[in-house]
């Protein structure tokens, strides 16, 4: 199985096939149990909370699964202008999901009833310090409730493509890149304590001190 979403959620590793929603899960990483596919839609991310798994993907489809991975709900979220939901997070009892095409986000307490609102970025989203933070192409947005968003202040980083965000040890960390030329990118990292005011870190370098030329697409924090 290739092109999969994988994460450690609710005490187990969960894998969702991007193409057909085929589910696999394991507690030890060695012995996997397979469940039947959710649907033929494409899926990008999965989160767990309030006793439910919520899977998001292409054309604004959202699937809600029970603890034993039975499909409780599978629906298209209307009024989202054919968005692609790229990332989902649970924070303070509420799911927040972001999409990449038209800067849309939705929030929901149960994973079934969603309220679409408009904001400015939407490739990755995380939650920490009582706030949701969403990142996208050239912008970072912050929200206290997952519904109403405002644009954050970035020092010298508004032209970069911010692709992923995480929260650990009292700080939000975002990675991204700047396009230089064909197949040539410069990787960047930016940090914030409050999600609203961001400081650019020194450009990423390898062990020899050479600047890393890479298309940075993901960041995670170890437990």
Residue 194 is predicted with a pLDDT of: 93
- Kindly report the CATH number that applies to the domain delimited by 4-118: 2.120.10.80
Bridge partners of residue 85, in order along the sequence: 99
CB under 8 Å, gap of 24 or more: what pairs does 70-74 form? 71/38, 72/112, 73/111, 73/112, 74/38, 74/39
Q: Are strands 12-17 and 94-99 parallel, antiparallel or unpaired?
A: unpaired
Residue 31 is predicted with a pLDDT of: 92
Residue 167 is predicted with a pLDDT of: 94
Q: Is 59 helix (H, G, I), strand (E, B) or coil?
A: helix
- Extract the tokens encoding 136: 């996208």
Residue 173 is predicted with a pLDDT of: 92
Q: Are 65 and 75 in contact (CB under 8 A)?
A: no
Tens of pLDDT, residue by residue, the chain (223 residues): 445 677 788 888 888 877 767 788 899 888 998 887 676 667 888 899 988 989 888 777 888 888 888 877 777 665 545 567 888 999 999 999 988 766 678 889 988 888 876 666 678 999 999 999 999 887 899 999 988 888 888 876 667 888 889 999 999 999 888 877 777 778 888 899 999 999 887 777 778 888 777 777 777 776 6
Task: Return d(Cα 136, Cα 138) in angstroms, integer.
Answer: 6
Residue 84: other Cβ atoms inside 10 A: 21
Residue 17 is predicted with a pLDDT of: 78
Look-up: residue for tokens 């006793």? 51
Q: Are strands 23-26 and 33-35 parallel, antiparallel or unpaired?
A: antiparallel
- Extract the tokens encoding 4: 């999969």
């Amino acid at each position: 199985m290739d092109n999969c979403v994988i994460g450690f959620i609710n005490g187990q590793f969960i894998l969702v096939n991007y193409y057909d929603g085929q589910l696999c899960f394991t507690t030890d990483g060695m012995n996997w149990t397979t469940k039947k596919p959710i649907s033929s839609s494409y899926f990008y991310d999965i989160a767990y909370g309030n006793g439910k798994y919520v899977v998001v993907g292409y054309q604004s489809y959202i699937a809600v699964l029970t603890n034993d991975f039975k499909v409780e709900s599978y629906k298209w979220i209307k009024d989202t202008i054919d968005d692609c939901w790229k990332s989902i997070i649970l924070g303070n009892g509420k799911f927040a999901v972001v999409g990449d095409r038209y800067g849309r986000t939705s929030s929901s307490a149960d994973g079934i009833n969603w309220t679409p609102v408009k904001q400015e970025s939407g490739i990755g989203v995380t939650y920490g310090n009582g706030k949701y933070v969403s990142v996208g192409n050239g912008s970072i947005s912050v929200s206290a409730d997952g519904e109403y968003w405002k644009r954050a202040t970035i020092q010298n980083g508004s032209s970069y493509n911010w692709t992923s965000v995480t929260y650990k040890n009292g700080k939000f960390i975002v990675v991204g890149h700047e396009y230089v030329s064909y197949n040539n990118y410069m990787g960047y990292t930016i940090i914030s304590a409050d999600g609203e005011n961001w400081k650019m870190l020194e450009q990423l370098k390898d062990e020899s001190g050479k600047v890393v030329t890479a298309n940075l697409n993901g960041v995670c924090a170890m437990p």
